[in-house]
Chain A
Amino acid sequence: DTAVSQTPKYLVTQMGNDKSIKCEQNLGHDTMYWYKQDSKKFLKIMFSYNNKELIINETVPNRFSPKSPDKAHLNLHINSLELGDSAVYFCASSQNRDTNQPQHFGDGTRLSIL
């Protein structure tokens, strides 16, 4: 069983559209994250939720809105998509907020803006 699963795996859409990426973890973890990986493979945190509560928002444009309906899910909605949003988006989870807890990553969603 996949521990952290995200859908869709690939997303190709036009500039200006609105799209959502879903993430679910079946590990019973309290904390979930969204990361963005750019074309040069650089990874940067976007958001983090702990027990459905937003705890990190890393200077991300407000076109990006995360939503956590329960602690097993963290979805990412993006409004008015721009060319610069093209990237791979990774969802991750960890047992809790302790810094020695590793994060478990999904396989990524490759977003391409035409």
Chain B
Amino acid sequence: GNSVTQMEGPVTLSEEAFLTINCTYTATGYPSLFWYVQYPGEGLQLLLKATKADDKGSNKGFEATYRKETTSFHLEKGSVQVSDSAVYFCALRTQGGSEKLVFGKGTKLTVNP
């Protein structure tokens, strides 16, 4: 079946540090890939997406590249801020009419000043 594996948290960084959150997937066909962010007490917000191999999604300084050869979609940011503290979810949706998002388990990021 389809699944998403992301690095276990929590991740704690100092402000301005470099961030990588690893995400790999298993899917039939060619999925669309997403990163969602959940700030404390809030719902999920789409952070970025990529719909085909080698696409790069980017938003708010975050980037992720769809790597078909390694089935990965790692999230990166060059310089994190305290306001980036949240839980980050990697997710996929597969082609062929499967509407549901399959989520990874989430990675909690805490950025200290």
| Chain A residues whose C-beta falls within 8 Å of the C-beta of B45 in the assembled complex | 105
Q: How many residues of B contact A (CB 8 A)?
A: 28
Interface flag for A107 (CB, 8 Å): yes
| Chain B residues whose C-beta falls within 8 Å of the C-beta of A40 in the assembled complex | 105
Q: How distant is the Cα of A90 from the Cα of B99 in the complex, in angstroms?
A: 16
Partner of B31 from A99, A102, A103, A108 at Cβ < 8 Å: A99
Chain B nearest Cβ from A65, distance in angstroms:
19
Interface flag for B87 (CB, 8 Å): yes
Chain B residues at the A interface, C-beta cutoff of 8 Å:
31-32, 34, 36, 38, 41-46, 49, 51, 87, 89, 93-95, 97-103, 105-106, 108
Known: A31-B99, A41-B105, A42-B103. A105 touches B44 (CB 8 A): yes
Task: Determine whether the beta carbon of B34 is less than 8 Å from that of A99.
Answer: no
Chain A nearest Cβ from B56, distance in angstroms:
15
Q: Mark A74-114, 1 if CB is under 8 A from B, else 0.
A: 00000000000000001010100101101111111000000
| Majority secondary structure of chain A interface residues (helix, strand, loop or mixed) | strand
Partner of A97 from B36, B97, B108 at Cβ < 8 Å: B97
Interface flag for A43 (CB, 8 Å): yes
| Chain B residues whose C-beta falls within 8 Å of the C-beta of A33 in the assembled complex | 99-101
| Chain B residues whose C-beta falls within 8 Å of the C-beta of A41 in the assembled complex | 38, 87, 105-106, 108
